[in-house]
Structure 1
Amino acid sequence: MTDPTPRLTVAALAACIAACAPTVKIEAPDKPIEINLNVKIEQEVRVKVERDLEKAIQDDPALFGVTPAKPKGKAQ
């Protein structure tokens, strides 16, 4: 007759491995998921402010201490 020890060892090892199998649970969270986005919009605002400032300087250059630009193509 053959020795049953190797078979019993393999069976015991398989039972231990099966008993330690991880369990995965998928559940919906209790609270809503919060995503915090810190986005810099400085560049867009800066361009808009610069365009507004250029227009204001063109409209009234004396207000900003700038000498008015002479129109091109007109002789005085």
Structure 2
Amino acid sequence: MNKFRWLLVMAVFSLGGCVPRIEVAPSKEPIVINMNVKIEHEIHIKVDKDVEKMMKSQSDIF
């Protein structure tokens, strides 16, 4: 019986060393994010006809 216990203890310790190891380490090079973005926009202004006439007649306001 004593031999069986000894073999059981040895088996447990032997199998305990078979645990997989997972390691997460940061990279040595910096992370580069290249963002080539082209932004275009259009602004449409709708004005009343009276306001448009006033803007044409008094163009020095703006």
Q: TM-score range by the shorter chain?
A: 0.3 to 0.5
TM-score (norm 2): 0.47
Q: Which has the higher helix share?
A: 1
